[in-house]
Structure 1
Amino acid sequence: MATPNDSPSAKFDLHLAIDMRVGGWISEPKLLYSWIDNILKEVENRTEIRNPAVIEFKNAIESDAELYMGFHRLFYSLPDRDLLDRPQVKDYLTMLQCFDKFVGEAPTWNPNFLVFLPFTAILQLPMSMSNGFTILVNRRVNDHFRNVFRAWAKYLSSAASASVLTTDKYGWLGKGAMENMPDFQKLFECDPTKDHWGFTSWDHFFTRTLKSDARPVEVPDGGTYITSACESQVIRYKVKVAARDQFWLKDSQPYSLVHMLNDPLANSFMGGTVYQAILSSYYYHRWHSPVNGTIVKAYVVEGTYFAGIPPDSSLMAPNCEKPVPSSEKPPSSESVAFQHQQAFLTHVATRALIFILADDPNIGLMCFVGVGIVEISSCEITVQAGQRVKQGQEIGTFHFGGSTHALVFGPQVKLKFLKEENDFVEVRSAIARVE
């Protein structure tokens, strides 16, 4: 068994894969490690941390024995270098130097690989381990992450962040990027004759709005239909969902309504149905009401940013002949955080809850859950209790960061889903018929 003074010599498997790659948020492992190598070279000569929020984070770690120990344990089990002999982030000071760099930059588009979530790229390995889970669910740690991300969000809303919105080869409005966002000018409010196509900041681009005639509500003749709240890819849907369940179980990933909804109204949905889908980095990020109805409640639950289910203790560490305790082993390709953990995140991550009483009594009370994943995770609700909404009407938006969403229905609602797992669905398109 390794001791805190031992630095494991095993090098990480280059075939690590995390679920965020499904949405194009982070590049494949070989390119990701090259990116980390370059980042470490850039921060190598930084002599001080400049951003006040990152400085506060550093002071908190160094003044609190629990946090100080936790962040040392976060990194000590990681190898010093990857299989290609490139250095890795190995201590909290280097981590914070990287964070200090990131909060003054906007995500750039790269034709070879994507790293839209730089904080996640730095933390993806340690947050896949039991030591990482312990410190990354800490409420005080998440409060400091929240402050850091508020600082980054401020930059991403500034005019300076629009520098990445160009038609150059590496710009978000260039030919290469636009190939991943077909019909952009047709679908979204923009003006290619203006600087940055009229977008005033990176956040303005990320939260772009649809043109009035784009993505009309799809309601086939006959019957009542549920429409997609987001432009997204179907993850799954589950029926007869329990009020309380062991949502942290990696293999089954059940939904636990009381923990997911965090509201007394959760009991209204016991035995009901949950539909979940994930948003890609290139997708439209605003939310739209899936039904006609009245807003009953709408609020944001603050949660974690980098909490993932720790690996199974039976997994083997790379290049090891026998199992080692889960708190000390590097993660394998099957145990990296967020691998098939979208359902888990609906219970612990920052999320917006919008309860809607549908006009159709066969639907009744339903809930939209917008889940921010990893950095920033800002969920902005644009409706309020008592407000009437039409099907397809905008109800909120994600700001920068990974994102998934769920629709929750009561046990009385009988649905015939029109989409399969992994299907891409346009916002406002029909996803289910009420039977």
Structure 2
Amino acid sequence: MELKQELEIQARVSQEMVQAVSILQMTAWDLKEYVQEAMLENPVIELEETTRKQDNEEIVRKLEWMENGDYQNKVYYQQELEESNEFWEENEPDLREYLLEQMAFMDLDKKAASIIRYMIQSLDERGYLLENEEEIADILGRSLEEIQRARQILCTMEPLGVGALNLQECLLIQLRKKGCTSLACEIVENYIEEFGKNQLSKIVKKTGRDLKEIAQACEQIKEQNPKPAGYFPARPYKNYIIPDVIVVKLKDYFEILVNDYDSPEIFISPFYRQMMREQGEETGKYIKEKIRQAEWLKSCIEQRNRTLLQLTEEILRSQTEFFQRGKNYLKPMTQKEAAEKLQVHPSTISRAVQGKYLQCTWGMFPLSFFFSSGTDKGAEYIKECLKRIIENEDKKNPYSDRVLAEKLQEMDIDISRRTIAKYRNSMHISEALGRKEY
């Protein structure tokens, strides 16, 4: 009996953890839809329009910012839509929905299913897990063996490579599943750096295989998908982007407004609390459980908004010059640094940033805009430097990515040629041969 109760509690805790993670990742629009769906499933939840104590100036200020942002939102949305996958259809599921649909046809016990659901909510935009197995075991209070078995199941699901911890594992999952040569797997396991730099001669020397074999194996590796989630939309596009947080510039200071203005507030009716006390044991138990679920949902939403507010406060502290003077004054900042300052796990920051937008004087920006990917300088800063170098090059003899890397090093920016190519492509700038003028 005690064991059964303990298992029920563990399952409930895991489900609630999945819900908390999911809510943290939601945008303002997604959260509004989620709460409305929860109301239909839980009879004790009632919705009432937000009536938080706000002075008239704050209400007017928030309304003006939301109204003035509409045109800007539509323009930003159009740019994003043009850059997105043109063939994605509105009813096509996103990655998480696609994986959950596959779970419905699998014979899974409750423990494994709850762990896999948590992992699905913990995938980043590439389809990799944000946390390692030890961290997930600690968070869910499960054994490492249980976590490892659950992840093995996740890694068998489509698209292949989803649930991997890094690029190496992602490629190996695909190569092994597709029956590729052992040499291709050996290269990924032991010579991934040389492969990334296309240093085939080094791999030949280290493996003792001939160049033709190595080249064929490398072609097999190149056919794999390094970002399994790449073909799925992060979230459906709406008619225009709704900012999740707004930074208002006042006379002598900035004010942060988390966008909950048009979101209904969860309200648990006193009628059901009274009913719980008056009804029989079975009905009372049912109502008590529904009230507990509603209170947990309310707590998750409050925690999401607190995390979003604290993160924006940290962005404002670190990027004050940007908010005062504009885009060219963005400073280097990583999600790991923000996590350390807020004393939370880096995955919490990653989830809080995911899919969310900030509106300020200078426009609408994804929260990810304010973070670099671990380089010493911010991505936007590096792109600006790269753009200036290319604008000033000799058009008849344009710089190769190697020379561009050297030029950036002179500016104390140390990044690989591969990263330069990535930034160059994101700005729609051709390689040297495509920029050459004859």
Please classify the TM superposition score into its range, dividing by the shorter chain length: under 0.3
Structure richer in strand, relative to its length: 1
TM-score by length of 1: 0.22
Structure richer in helix, relative to its length: 2
Pair member with larger Rg = 2
